Amino acid sequence: MYRYDEFDHAVVAARVDEFSSQVARRLSGELTEEQFRPLRLMNGVYLQLHAYMLRVAIPYGQLSSRQLRMLAHIARTYDKGYGHFTTRQNIQYNWPQLCDIPAALADLASVEMHAIQTSGNCIRNTTSDPFAGVAADEVTDPRPWAEIIRQWSTIHPEFTYLPRKFKIAISAGEEDRAAVAFHDIGIRIVRNDAGEIGFKVLVGGGMGRTPRVGRVITEFLNPTELLGYLESILRVYNLHGRRDNKYKARIKILVDALGIDEFRRQVEVEWAHLRGSEVEVPASEIERIHSYFVPRELPARPEAPAEFLAARQQNAAFARWVDANIINHRVPGYAGVTITLKPAGGIPGDVTADEMDAIADLADRFGFSELRATKDQNLVLPSVAQEDLLPLWQELVSLSLAEGNHGLINDMITCPGLDYCALANARSIPLAQEISTRFADLERQANIGPLTLNISGCINACGHHHVANIGILGVDKHGDEAYQLVIGGDARDSAAVAQISGPGYSQEKIVDAVETTVNTYLAQRTGAEETFIETFRRIGLAPFKEALNAAR
Amino acid sequence: MSKTFVTANRLTDGLVVFRTADGAWSTAYADAALYDDSAAEVAAASSEATVVVGVYAVEVEQAEDGSWQPLTTRERIRVLGPSIAYQRSA
Ligand code: SF4
């Protein structure tokens, strides 16, 4: 795991001091709210419906147990005893007092964490595959590259006042687990025919009001060229992005307007100036950053041990959890484990301070003190011996976090919605609770199979409804909540934006509509092995529309 | 017939506050003063920049039980707090 050097420490400490003084000046009236607002946003502080909200970055999702305990401490000391993991590998606290935030940030800095650039029109937290460094299917570990991007983008003077926020994701698995196609810049690490590692770069993806699948700007970049190329993209965007209209200010709109070919041409012109300049990362620095991520020497543990296999045979709930929440590890005898924060009837992504502490203990006991936060609002223990899966699961049962629902209908992404968010049109969380209660039966979930169901409380799409197999969008109907149902989205390499299923639904009807959609799939699929999205691609939207209209 | 109350978020902790009849602020909705025309009150409250943030008026209507309720779901939730049990272990 990356450890801060003196430079990182100094930057974060200086920022804590600076923001503390800004808060003091705001409280004394020296700064007006208008002056203070952009400053607080740059430090992750929003003013929401009922209180301030503090968003803390978890760079590329990587957390140590010590850091998770600090997140628990923040929840307990400065908030109401819980936090909310978000789709951008951040954690949000919903109730901090402004006057306490400097102290909270100082506490975070003591474990090498901060809230810098978690809001505002700058380059946000770079996200990555939660199984980076351990997945059996990856080309190389993307984390060193995520770290290089983090260092380059942190307080980058040229990109602190972009036309709009800017999100970068990077992944290296055969399967994309970071939804890179839906980021302003998405990076897939690939191998060329000569076996060399490089970057395929997508640009102009995004969700929000204008959902777009990222377009390929280059098929292959050499490792040393990465930052020069990213800087060139940012420069073209910084210069030509629409600052006059908030809704047209994201890079996707610029790429739409210019066309990908012209956009690429302009980037290449810019790049010609930067190639070979000091922006390029020297090989020695690449090596230095990589040295923080050298794969851990894992002690040899038996592969498919007998007790594990027996428990899987005898205990249906454990077997279901293993089927859904475990992925192959690059080292035989180990597994990657997802702890879904989605108990039936619970609030997706919410974790109490006590639960955070308990999970940190489990990471110490079973997982080399390592954790990851995922874009699906879950936590991951990246390296657990197969022998330890049963005792780990038993501990999770006692925490009520052992449901084997990863990737199934109840593993919903849900934004805070109108219960907290000042921008919301409608509530998301109560809907998620109603759906997960209705589909609580794990056998039913497993029978439905892989399915993503995401909920956003407004068109900003923080809940990723556009890329869900079944998405729900909260809309405002004359001051009342209403919901639109969209179908057929996909966040993976086979990226697609979901399509509107028809007229909207009231709060009372929307969950029935979800069930109708699921039942239509079950009736139409060729067999249990055909997933929801495969069936949708085969039969199209029409049969779903028909069933939904008939059920109205 | 509709009336309005005047609301904001408190600067120090961000909590929702309501303008009271004596020109103070309260976190209790029951303390909110109701106005036929709140323009002057909004203007006065807006000058209290070290006390509150984002002053505005909310329209309310009298419900059957006699209480005054905001017209929109958003403002009702803002008055009542999150509609969910959000502290699982507390
Ligand atoms: S999608 Fe809308 S309602 Fe949900 S968190 Fe984002 S801005 Fe708020």
Tens of pLDDT, residue by residue over A78-117, are: 999 999 999 999 999 999 999 999 999 999 999 999 999 9
Tokens of residue A162, six digits: 């972009």
Distance of alpha carbon A401 from alpha carbon A381, whole angstroms: 13
* Residue A182 scores a pLDDT above 80: yes
Binary contact (A97, B12; C-beta < 8 A) = yes
In which order are the strands placed within the sheet that holds A82-85? A45-47, A52-57, A90-93, A82-85, A350-352
* Residue A270 scores a pLDDT above 60: yes
Number of A/B CB contacts below 8 angstroms equals 92
Neighbouring CB atoms inside 10 A of A161's CB total: 13
B22 Cα to chain A: minimum distance (Å): 23
CATH architecture of A413-551: 2-Layer Sandwich (3.30)
* Atom 2 of ligand 1: nearest residue by CA position: A458
Q: Give me the pLDDT at residue B87, please.
A: 65
Q: Are A474 and A425 in contact (CB under 8 A)?
A: yes
> In the 8-state DSSP scheme, what is residue A97?
-
Domain A142-291 has CATH 3.30.413.10: yes
* Residue B89 scores a pLDDT above 60: no
* Right CATH for A306-398 from 3.90.480.20, 3.40.50.620, 3.90.600.10, 3.40.50.1980: 3.90.480.20
DSSP three-state, residue A94: coil
pLDDT tens for each residue of A272-316: 999 988 888 999 999 999 999 999 899 999 999 999 999 999 999
CA A488 from centroid of its chain's CA atoms: 20
The reply to whether ligand 1 has any atom less than 6 angstroms from the CB of A488 is no
pLDDT tens for each residue of A331-366: 999 999 999 999 999 999 999 999 999 999 999 999
- Give residue for tokens 């939207």: A541
- The three-point CA angle A37-A41-A45 to 5° equals 100
The fold of A6-109 is: Sulfite Reductase Hemoprotein; domain 2 (3.90.480)
Query: What residue segments make up the domains of chain B, in order of their start?
Result: 2-80
- The pair phi, psi for residue A538, each rounded to 5°, is -75, -45
The residue among A526, A530, A502 whose CA lies nearest residue A516 is A502
B21 class by beta-carbon count within 10 Å (0-12 exposed, 13-18 middle, 19+ buried): exposed
- Give residue for tokens 């959890």: A321
Q: Are A132 and A142 in contact (CB under 8 A)?
A: yes
DSSP three-state, residue A74: helix
DSSP three-state, residue A6: helix
Binary contact (A50, B15; C-beta < 8 A) = yes
Q: What is the mean pLDDT of residues B69-74?
A: 95
Alpha helices in B20-62 (DSSP H): 39-46
pLDDT tens for each residue of A57-67: 999 999 999 99
pLDDT tens for each residue of A199-222: 999 999 999 999 999 999 999 999
Q: Give me the pLDDT at residue B90, please.
A: 37
Residues of B within 8 A of A47 (CB-CB) are 9, 14, 53-54
Query: What residue segments make up the domains of chain A, in order of their start?
Result: 6-109, 142-291, 306-398, 413-551
Q: What share of chain B is helix, strand, coil (3-state, %, to 5)?
A: 20, 35, 45
pLDDT tens for each residue of A424-479: 999 999 999 999 999 999 999 999 999 999 999 999 999 999 999 999 999 999 98
Q: What is the mean pLDDT of residues B19-47?
A: 96
DSSP three-state, residue A258: helix
The question of ipTM being above 0.90 is answered as yes
- To test the pocket of ligand 1, the residue of A41, A119, A414, A421 to mutate (highest count of ligand atoms within 8 Å of its CB) is A421
The residue among A407, A410, A426 whose CA lies nearest residue A491 is A407
